[in-house]
Structure 1
Amino acid sequence: MAIIGRSRGRTMKTFGFAGWSGSGKTTLIEKLVPLFVAEGVKVSLIKHAHHTFDVDQPGKDSYRHRHAGCTEVLVTSSRRWVLMHELRGAEEPPLAEHVRRMSP
């Protein structure tokens, strides 16, 4: 996992966390994020999954659009948005490329 933070227009900082499953990474991050936010730091997080996953639901329009062949589908509402990008056989981008996409 990588935490990405930016405070009042300063340069973005990236912190990496690695460890065995169950070692406490998520618990530590849950405690650190509120401390950063209390200091005025905007925080984003990149979570790498070592397995396939889907944030979409079968039958929903966005799911149908992706399965029809869209490379990207952006779902937006008044509370949040999510961009789903299908690699479709391409290599997984390196962490640095993901960090460039983030905008805390």
Structure 2
Amino acid sequence: MALVALSLLFYVLLGLRLFRQFMATMKDLGAAGEKLGHLNPPEVQEAPGEAEGPRPGSAVFASPAVMRHDYEASKLARREERRRRRVQRKKDRGQPQALGDLDFT
């Protein structure tokens, strides 16, 4: 019986110690959050005429539909830019153009 009582006392003391450590950790995290919350982010200097795009890290909070749309739009823009460079390169070299590369619209 004494062994059971001693082991229960041990578990209670261990639980108290764990709880105090947890509360100290939470207090430290709260202080760190307060300290970081008051810091202002550095001002980002953009080049004149540069289009303002989404801020880095904003994709985490965006909806999947918006991110899919942005991905598809940028993919199409990159494809069109490659096609435009290919047409210009062939024009500069005097090579015949592929019908798929010509923009008839």
Q: Which one has more relative contact order, counting CA pairs under 8 Å at least 6 apart? A: 1
Q: TM bucket by the smaller chain?
A: under 0.3
Question: What's the TM-score once normalised by structure 2's chain length?
Answer: 0.19
The structure where helix makes up a greater share of residues is 2
